Amino acid sequence: MNLPSLRQLQFLDALARERSFSRAAESMFVTQPTLSTAIRELEGLLGVQLVEREARGATLTPIGVEVVTRARALLSDAEDLVLAAKGASEPLHGTFRLGAIPTIAPFMLPKIMKHLKKAYPNLSLFLREDQTARLLDDLRARRLDAALIALPYKTDGIETVSVFEDEFLLAAPTGHPLSKEGALQPEDLAPHDVLLLEDGHCLRDHALSVCQMPSVRDGGEVSATSLHTLVQMVAGGLGVSLIPKIAADAGIGNGLDLTIRPFNPPAIGRSIGVAWRTGSSREDDARLVAEELRKVFNT
């Protein structure tokens, strides 16, 4: 039985992405006739039409869509094979695709990038920031090798390892009753409006858990799309909020009319962890990234 070559499958994948023979050929660094011939040979080998050729571009047939889906899985497996072989001799070598959620990325990635670049000069990091659910989908689809997420989080088909516990701190406008000295506990927030990130951010759920809702008054329609917006709203007197210690340590409140205070005892709202796809050939590298994170952030 004659089997398709990986090169033919790569050409088909490129055509599916670009929807144009010329753009697909350019992305694969070949001439358009070379790519077009390879696609026709693949169609002849499989005995089906994979592409509808049109004046304005190319569209996959229904069977073409199915073939591309299977082709991408095969290409990913082939890539995993190569990476596993290389990784056996040199850890964190070559391209490593790392994701991070928005409440982690700007506060951790600058430090870890600098550290990893120094420790592993042959490593090329590809970074992506997105919300947890989409990062996990990318892990399962093999578009990412690992992701920095906040735990606990339900992760079917995903393995995780905790790196460190992230403390939650109170953020209040300067002069607010909660900004004064004295032991501070989560239940002290009950009479006040608590500003939160909008739905979809796991930090919102973790903050609500620490606040012991519904005993705390939610800020209602007032919510933020990012931590930077959130602290601006607090500084503007719209309410109080909880922010991760990693954000405070990175200076998120610098220059604002804001008071940031710890709780007594400390309010541990989440655990920073590294996630990867179950069975991934990059598991050892993902665990190594977690270990390097511990070196940087547990000092």
Tell me what the mean pLDDT of segment 41-60 comes to: 88
Q: What is the pLDDT of residue 216?
A: 46
Task: Please list, in sequence order, all residues whose beta carbon lies within 8 angstroms of the beta carbon of residue 254, skipping any fewer than 6 positions away.
Answer: none
pTM here is 0.68
Cα 3 to Cα 45: distance, rounded to the nearest angstrom? 8
In percent, the amount of the chain with pLDDT more than 70 equals: 88
> Nearest-CA neighbor of 21 among 70, 58, 51?
58
* CATH of region 92-299, choose from 3.90.1150.10, 2.60.40.10, 3.50.50.60, 3.40.190.290: 3.40.190.290
Split at pLDDT 50, 70, 90, the class of 253 is confident
Cα 269 to Cα 150: distance, rounded to the nearest angstrom? 9
Q: What is the pLDDT of residue 76?
A: 78
Q: What's the chain's length in residues?
A: 299
Tell me what the mean pLDDT of segment 251-277 comes to: 88
Split at pLDDT 50, 70, 90, the class of 89 is low
Q: What is the pLDDT of residue 215?
A: 42
Q: What is the pLDDT of residue 86?
A: 62
pLDDT tens digit sequence for 164-208 = 988 888 888 888 888 787 788 878 887 778 887 766 566 766 766
Tell me what the mean pLDDT of segment 91-106 comes to: 87
Tell me what the mean pLDDT of segment 54-64 comes to: 85
* Pairing label, strands 94-100, 57-60: unpaired
**pLDDT at 85 exceeding the cut of 80:** no
The CATH architecture that domain 6-86 belongs to is Orthogonal Bundle (1.10)
Cα 79 to Cα 118: distance, rounded to the nearest angstrom? 25
Domain residue spans in the chain? Answer: 6-86, 92-299
Tell me what the mean pLDDT of segment 244-261 comes to: 88
Question: What mean pLDDT is reported for the chain?
Answer: 84
**pLDDT at 258 exceeding the cut of 60:** yes
Q: What is the pLDDT of residue 83?
A: 65
* Pairing label, strands 51-54, 57-60: antiparallel
